Amino acid sequence: MATAAPVVGSLALWAVTQSPYVLVFALLGPIVAIASLGDAAMQGRTTLRRERRRFAAEVAALREAIDVGHARERARRVAVHRDARSLIAAPHRDAERWRGGLGRELLVVVGTGCLTSTLALEDTEGSAFSPAPDEYAEALDSLRVSAATLRAAPVVVDARLGLGIYGNAVLASAVARGIILQLATHLSPRDYELVTAHDGGNHWLAGLPHTLVLAGSLAGTVVFRRRARSVVQASIKTSETSGQRVSDTVTIAVAESAASLPRECRVLLRVEGATSCEIIPAPVEAVESAVVPEFISREQSGRFAAVLAGAAEAAGLLDGADALPGSVDFASLCGTDQEDQGSGRADAGPRDSLACTPVQSVTGPLALDLVRDGPHAIVGGTTGSGKSEFLVAWILAMAARFGPQRVTFLLVDFKGGSSFHAVQQLPHSVGLITDLDEHSARRALTSLRAELRYRERALAEAGARSIEQLAPEHPLARLVIVVDEFAAMVQDFPDLHELFADIAARGRSLGVHLILCTQRPSGVVRDAVLANCTLRVSLRVNNASDSTALLGTSAAAELPRLPVGRALVSLGGEAARAVQVALTHDSDVRTVDQRWRSQATDAGVQPRRPWCDPLPALIRLSELPGLSDEDGLVFGVVDRPSEQCTAPARYDPNRDGSLLVIGAHRSGKSGALTALHCARAASADDRGTAVLVPADHEGAWDIVTDQLAKVRSGSSKPCLLMIDDLDALLGSLLEEYSFAFADAVTALLREGGRAGTHLVISAARLGSSLQSIAALCDSRLLLRLPDKHEHVAAGGEAAAFTAELTAGGGHWRGDRVQVALAPPTGLIGRDTVGGTMVCPEWEGWPGWAVVTNRPAELARRLGEDQAKHALAIGLPRGWEIVTLDSRPAVDLSVVTPSRGAVLIADAETWQSHWALLATVRTTMPIVFDGCGAADFRALTRQRELPPLIAAASASVWMLTPGGGLERSLPPWAGARARS
C-alpha cells in the first residue's frame, strides 16, 4: 500500500490537471520500497555483528568463571586428598597424620586426571537471539563439556582394594613409592606394621616408623597389616598374608605384567610412559581412565621416612617410645650420684664435667653435660609441657653431684619468681632475679658483665686459658645462668641480647654456662646465641616451626599432652631422642641442701656471688671514713654493679662545679645539703667553708646579695653556698624580688666559680623560674621524683627511674646513690633576721621623716607613748609629731636637736610636698614603714631595689642624708629589738 499510494495519487492529479509532470510522482513508490529493503538489510547485518560480539564476550566470561570454579574445586580436592609430593614438601606438624584406618575408606592419590566436576551451568534454552543455530549450539555444548570436566584433579582410589602397578619397572616402582608414603602417613605405626621381601630397591622402607617384617616370598610386594598386640613376628608366610581379610591388610605390588600381580590387587595401574598411565577399572568419578602419574625417587622417600620416624618417636608411637614410663622419680635417677660421691668432696676433682641424669631415655638414665654437650643449652616448650619442672630437675641433679665450690646457679625467672622456689635456697644458688623488681633485675644482670671481666682476670693471674686448667683448690666455680622465659626477659631488657651473645661466645673458657628456656625459640633466641647452644631440649611445642628451629625436625610438635615431661633431647647436634623428665620432691631438695650446707658450714666458705649486696636504705654519715679528702666531699655511697662494688659518693666543687639537687617532698634534699655541710665542716683544708642560706626571706636575700657583691668586688673567699628549696623560696617572694633573687643566683653561678664560690641548690621540680639556673649547674643529684616524666625532664634516664626509692636514694653521675644521714646542723629551715639592724636613737638627728601606709595610727601611737614616757618608743619630750596631711607646710628652721620633729605621711602625701621632701633628704633620715618597692622608688628616684623585707617583718628601710640605704628596725621598735 505504501508503494501504490503515490501511483494512485499521481493518476488522480493527472486526471484533474492533465499535466504530464505529475506522473513523475508515480515513480516515488517503487523508489521508496527499494530503499526500505536496502535499509532493512543493512540494519540486520549490523545487529547480527553486534549480537555475535556480545555472544562471544558472554561465552568468554562464562568460560573464565568455569575456570575459577574449577580452580576452587581442584584446591578443595587437593586439600582433602594430598599426594606424596605435597606431604614431602611440608613435613610440619600434621593434625591429620596417622588418623586413617582400614575400617573405612583409605583413599590414596594415584595421579592427576579428568574427573566429573560438581560445577553446574544454568539452563541456556530460550535465548532471545540465535545468530547461527549450529554455531550457537556448538559453543553451548563446548561450555557444558568444559564445566562438567575437572582437569588436573587428584585421582583417588580406595587402597583397601589392593593396588597393582605394572609396566616399565623403574616408573612403576616410582609410582609405588608415592602410594606407600601416603599409606605410611595415614596408618599409625602403633597399629600397623609393614611386611615386604628382601628387595635391594626398597631399603628405604627400613626408615619408616612402622615395624618392618621381612618375608622372602613377597618379592615386589609391600603389605600394611594390623599389628598383633602381643609380639610382632619377625617373618610371615605367604599364605598368612594372603589369608588376611580386606579390612586387615593393604597390598601394594609392582610387576612387569598384570598376570604377575597377586590376586589381592583389585585395582591395576598400567604405566605406559612418563606422562600417563591407565587405571583398570576406571574410578567412578573419572571421566577417562588415563591419568598423569606421580613419581617419587628413593632419596625423597628416604628423607620423608626419617621425618615420619622422628614424628612417631616424639609422639610416643614407636616400640622404644612405648618403653618410656609416664613418670620417673628423681631419686631413682640421681640417687646413685649422691652415693658415689659419698662423704667426699665432689668439688675436689677435675673441672671438665657437669654431667648429671635428670631424664630417662628408652635405654635408661640419660646424662646431660653442659661442659661436654654444651657449653650452653636451650629448652623449649609450651605452657603446661613441664619446662619449669625440667629446669628444677636439672639444677637439682647438678647440685646433687657437684658442690657449691664446683658449680653455682644464678636463677632468672620472668614468670613471677615461683618457678625456682624449690631450689633457690640451695647453697649453690647465688641469687634469684625476677620481673617483680625491675631495678634489682637490671642491677644483677648488669653485674654479669663485670663477672666476665673478673673471671678473665682470675684466669690470667693463674696462667690458665680456661677454667679446666685451674688447680682443684682454686675457688672459682662454674656459674650456670638459668633463665625461665627468656623471651620475656629480653623484651623488658633488649640490651641483654648483646650481653648473652658475649656470654655464649666466651662462656666455655670462663666457666659461665647458659640454660635458656622459652615457649617459642623461633625468632627469640638470636643466631649468635643459638650457634653456641648445642645442647637442646624441647618439650611439647605448639607448631612445627618452633620444633624445627630448635631440633631440625617437627617431631616436638607431635609430642602428646600427657604424660607431662615428655621431651626430645639433642646432644651436640645428634639426632633427637625421646626422654621422660624426672619428677622432684621436697625430700630430694632437702637431702641435697643438707648435704652441701653442712660441708659449707664446716669449711666456712660461701660461694662467690656475681654481684654485691644492694645499697641499704639507711647509711649514717659517721660510718663513712674520710668525709673530706683530695677527691671531694663524701656525702653517701654509690652502687656500681658494672664493677661489682660500692664506693663513696664524692662531690668536689672545683671539679664538679655547682650542684643541683632535685627531689620530691621528703626525698632527702635537705639531708643531702646537711651531709655536704658536715663533710665540708670536717675538712681541715683551706678550700673554704660551707654557708647554709637560711629559709627566711630577709636572711636569704642578705647572704646571696652580700656574697655576690664580694665576688664582684674581688673580696670573697672560697665558699660553698647552699640554698635549700630554691623553687619554694622564689615562689613565695613578690614577683620583682623573685626575679631579682633568681638573677643574683644566676650571677653567682656565672661569676662565682672564678672566685672559688660554688652553689649547692635543691629544688622539688624544674619550673620555668629554674630553667636558666639549672642550665648553669654543672652537676646534678637526682633523688626520688613523682613520676618518670619528671625524672627524665630533670636529666635522668627513663630506665633508671625508680618510684620506690627511700629518702636519700637517687642517682649521681649515672650510678645509684644513697645519701648518708647526717646529724642536723640546726641551720637549714631556721628563721633569722639576716642583716637587719636597729635604728639609732631619736636624738641622733634633728628630726625624722616617716613614709608609712598608716600615718594616723603611727602618729597616735607615738603621741600616747610620749605622754606616758613609755620605753617602747622612747620619743623625747618636746619633740613634735607632725602629720603632713593636717598641715599645709612645715617650717623646718625651728627644728633643733633639742626640739625635734617627726614628720609622718603616706607616700602620696609626701609626693605632694616635694619641696619639703627635698629638704628633708639632706637633713634627716627617711624611714619607709610598710611601703612597697614602688613607693620607695617613686620618692627616692632610685632604680635599685631596696633590701627585701618579709611580709610579716617589723623591719623598715632607712635612707640616711648621705644616701645610705639599709634595712633596720625603727626606733619605735627599738626596745623590742633590744629585748
Residue 509, classed as helix, strand or coil, is: helix
Q: What number of other Cβ atoms are within 10 A of residue 952's Cβ?
A: 7
Strand partners, 849: 903, 926
902 sits in which H/E element: strand 901-905
d(CA 837, CA 957): 10
Q: Which amino acid is at 372?
A: R
Give residue for cell 654493679. Answer: 641
d(CA 481, CA 487): 15
Buried b (16+ CB within 10 A) or exposed e, 619-644: bebeebeebbeeebbbbbbbbbbbbb
Tell me which residues of the chain have a pLDDT lower than 50.
126-129, 229-246, 321-322, 336-346, 348, 826-834, 870-871, 975-979
Q: Which of 820, 778, 817, 819 is nearest to 795 (CA)?
A: 778
Radius of gyration of the chain (CA): 52
DSSP conformation letters of 79-127: HHS--HHHHHH--S--TTTT---TTS--EEEEEEEEEE----PPP--S-
d(CA 114, CA 126): 31
| CA atoms in the 13 A half-sphere facing the CB of 786 | 6
d(CA 812, CA 646): 13
Residue 202, classed as helix, strand or coil, is: helix
d(CA 875, CA 866): 6
Triad 306, 307, 311: Cα angle to 5° = 115
Binning the chain into helix, strand and coil, the percentages to the nearest 5 are 40, 20, 35
Q: Which of 760, 311, 193 is nearest to 559 (CA)?
A: 311
Cell numbers at 641, concatenated? 654493679
Give residue for cell 557444558. Answer: 144
d(CA 322, CA 278): 43
d(CA 176, CA 412): 54
971: which DSSP letter?
G
pLDDT of residue 636: 92
223 sits in which H/E element: strand 221-226
d(CA 782, CA 248): 81
- Is 957 within 8 Å of 965 (Cβ atoms)? yes
Triad 924, 928, 929: Cα angle to 5° = 130
pLDDT of residue 725: 93
* Total residue length of the chain: 979
d(CA 510, CA 829): 56
Q: What does DSSP say about strands 107-116 and 212-214: parallel, antiparallel, or unpaired? A: unpaired
d(CA 215, CA 212): 10
d(CA 274, CA 280): 18
Answer whether the bond into residue 563 is a cis peptide, omega within 30°. Answer: yes
Q: What number of other Cβ atoms are within 10 A of residue 837's Cβ?
A: 13
pLDDT of residue 835: 55
Spell out the SS3 assignment of 139-162: HHHHHHHHHHEEEEEEEEEEHHHC
DSSP conformation letters of 637-650: EEEEGGGTEEEEEE
CA 762 to chain CA mean position, Å: 35
**Percent of the chain predicted with pLDDT > 90:** 28
**What are the CA-CA distances from residue 766 to residues 439, 727, 731, 788, 919 (Å)?**
25, 8, 12, 14, 49
d(CA 23, CA 577): 117
CA 416 to chain CA mean position, Å: 16
734: which DSSP letter?
-
Q: Which of 947, 944, 954, 952 is nearest to 977 (CA)?
A: 954
Answer whether the bond into residue 616 is a cis peptide, omega within 30°. Answer: no
Residue 965, classed as helix, strand or coil, is: strand
pLDDT of residue 602: 57
pLDDT of residue 542: 85
Cell numbers at 99, concatenated? 588418623
pLDDT digits (tens, 9 = 90+) for 812-824: 998 889 999 988 7
pLDDT of residue 940: 87
- Is 651 within 8 Å of 659 (Cβ atoms)? yes
Q: What does DSSP say about strands 566-571 and 577-583: parallel, antiparallel, or unpaired? A: antiparallel
